[in-house]
Chain A
Amino acid sequence: MEIASGLLHGFAVALQPGNVFWCFVGCLLGTIVGILPGLGPAATIALLLPLTFKMDPAGGIIMLAGIYYGAKYGGSTTSILLNIPGESSSVVTCLDGYQMARKGRAGAALGIAAIASFVAGTVGVIGLTLVAPPVAAFALSFSSPEYFALMCLGLALVVLLSGASLLKGLLSLLLGLWLTSIGTDLFTAQSRFIFGQATLLGGIDFMVVAIGVFAIGEVLGSVEAGDEAKVLPVPRGFRNLLPNAEELRACRFAFLNGSITGFLVGCLPGGGATISSFIAYGIEKAVSKHPEQFGKGAPEGVAAPEGANNADTGGALVPLLTLGIPSGGSTAIMLSALVLWGVKPGPLMMQESPDVFWGLVASMYIGNVVLLILNLPLVPLFAQILRLPVYVLFPIIFGISIVGAYGASGRMFDLGLLVGFGLLGYAMSKLKYPSAPLILGFVLGDAMERALRQSLMMSQGDVLTLVERPISATMLSLALVILLIPLFGWFNRLRVRAITENG
């Protein structure tokens, strides 16, 4: 009953003309970003964040979320027409999507991707609607030790799933923790790691780190990639975009598989759309009566991963909104956006900020319909974006990066840091250090230190308090198991294969 009234309230917020407009803008930008290879949703959300500072929090988060899930819809277009994933979550879609396009079924592949995204995206939001309230109610009993343990668990999962080398994931996380310590200690006002720079007393702006590591790092990586590939033509006319009855029948199970797998994997911090799309594809191939057709243009090979990467959105918002734990780069930026607006994601968010919580959830039902419209009849129009030359796109990304980093603080010092973090992002990708743990360490570092210090204050210095409370003991044990299990060769081979096959 509480859920129904909350959702009704959410629709009242989301259907306000201003919020419908922001939802549309977010979905449109997301689709464009999804289509453009070399610019990911995390980078775009980071770039546009400064522009949302003056917006109402509900409208702002509705737009940012629109970019987040819109990019997953758009990512499939590039995979199918170019054999280049627009986003990492669309890597698996290339396998069968591009083969379908080569056989002249590009329209059907795009149609299946859009339908799977809509079905699974909506199932994901239904999952979020039903699961978030009980999770938040459970988390109400959490105190500092449980929060510390929860963050350890979340970060362990992110490290486990973000890169082939566990050591590099952990080091990336520690780098994030260090960067967030720079500035003034909140408990004692002691300045830490400021290198004699008074400008660092307030700490490093999250925007500068996110834009530098994601946007500038990605652009530098893309500069290496060279010239654009050849685009396969998109069939004109709405009818040509619809899959035939036989293809739809083949995809029935894939829609369901993608929806459930995507949502469940999405709920895990670090799970992410890339992993969920890979798992859904693997399940689909394993249960198929004709697995030999996978990789040669099987429609269910498009439906399962595309469904999974969209259902993942609903799942990823469960830990973000109910526990304040982001599951990856994009949700980490959304968390800092919410904090900047004065909204505190966590178990009390539903009571303290019902407009933002339920408004966001309801807007995602609307956003999925908007995206279905944008991605079915309008897909030939969007495919034209692929013709935008990179030499025009890259200066624009640099310009937006400068505006994003300077606009928030108005300090030239931040632009200098942006240059440094851009190089760091590029070096990390060259040396195969995953960037998601760094960003998550940076976002959660302060809260993690606070929770640990408060726990030890409560227990008068007794570290055992962390393992004497059942919930925190369970979560810390799980975190330990997660970090130790890759020591078993067979598990690590499986883990590395899952991560590397996703690019």
Chain B
Amino acid sequence: MLGAFLKKGDVISGAVLAALGVYIITQARTWDYYTLDGPGPGFFPFWYGVAMVVLSLLLIVSSARTSEDGESKLDWPATGRAMTVWLAFALSVALMNFLGFLISFALLAFFLVAVVFRRPFTTAAVVAVASALAFHLIFPVALSVSLPTGPFGF
């Protein structure tokens, strides 16, 4: 149920944010809170860190107290699709270190069209090659905007 998911999500995200708040406070306490000139670098982070801990705990408590009102199910296949796209994007960015923008981006476009949107391989290949080439011609060539380069110089 969506309500149950949000409730669980609220508890988890609340816990993550509370942990972040604790980290912020711990770090802030290692810097000057107040100096002769006035508030130090630890002053502002300390207070928003405190606020973050308090508010995230409130979120956890309030989500535990509210009743579930979920009507529709969380669409796991759809979420899976989105996460697949994100992973493909993350992988293509990692590949850019070695292969450069042109090839990595073409691979990403091919994957999106062929696998995520389930179009024929030829359509995917045309979209991948055409879009990668268009980006290369518009940005590095025409506008002199630098993009990651690979062993082939593009």
Contact = CB atoms under 8 A, between A and B. Distances in A.
A329 interface: no
Interface string A435-470: 000000000000001001110110011000000000
B43 A192 contact: no
Contacts of B58: 167
Majority SS at the chain A contact face: helix
Given A216-B89, A392-B127, A453-B44, A223 B81 contact: yes
B59 A412 contact: no
Contact of A188 (B32, B79, B131): B32
Contact of A178 (B48, B86, B143): B48
A403 B145 contact: yes
Interface string A46-71: 00001100000000000000000000
Interface in B49-107: 49, 51-52, 55-56, 58-59, 62, 75, 78-79, 81-82, 85-86, 89-90, 93, 96-97, 101, 105
Contacts of A453: 38-39, 43-44
B96 A412 contact: yes
Q: Taking each of B112, B143, B146, which has the highest tally of chain A beta carbons within 10 Å of its own beta carbon? A: B112
Interface in B1-57: 6, 9-10, 13, 17, 20-21, 24, 27, 31-32, 34-35, 37-41, 43-45, 48-49, 51-52, 55-56
B82 A395 contact: no
Nearest to A441: B48
A174 B32 CA distance: 21
B97 A168 contact: no
Contacts, number: 166
Interface in A377-421: 390-392, 394-396, 398-399, 402-403, 406-407, 410, 412, 415-416, 418-419
A1 interface: no
Interface residues of B, number: 63
A423 B86 CA distance: 7
Contacts of B108: 395, 398
Interface residues of A, number: 60
B38 A456 contact: yes
Contacts of B41: 185, 187-188, 190, 192
A353 B109 CA distance: 43
Given A220-B85, A391-B119, A453-B43, A171 B59 contact: yes
Contact of A50 (B55, B75, B132, B145): B145
Contact of B78 (A187, A188, A226): A226
A493 interface: no
Contacts of B13: 427, 431, 433
A430 interface: yes
A239 interface: no
Given A174-B51, A453-B38, A419 B89 contact: yes
Instruction: Across the A-B interface, give the 3 residue pairs with the lowest CB-CB distance, nearest first.
Output: A457-B38, A395-B109, A391-B117
Interface of A: 50-51, 165, 167-168, 170-171, 174-175, 177-178, 181, 185, 187-188, 190, 192-193, 216, 219-221, 223-226, 390-392, 394-396, 398-399, 402-403, 406-407, 410, 412, 415-416, 418-419, 422-423, 426-427, 430-433, 449, 452-454, 456-457, 460-461
Interface of B: 6, 9-10, 13, 17, 20-21, 24, 27, 31-32, 34-35, 37-41, 43-45, 48-49, 51-52, 55-56, 58-59, 62, 75, 78-79, 81-82, 85-86, 89-90, 93, 96-97, 101, 105, 108-109, 112-113, 116-117, 119, 123, 127-128, 131-132, 135, 139, 143, 145-148
23 contacts: A165-B59, A171-B52, A171-B59, A177-B44, A220-B85, A221-B82, A224-B79, A392-B127, A402-B93, A402-B105, A406-B146, A406-B147, A406-B148, A412-B148, A415-B148, A416-B93, A419-B93, A430-B79, A431-B10, A432-B6, A453-B44, A454-B38, A456-B39
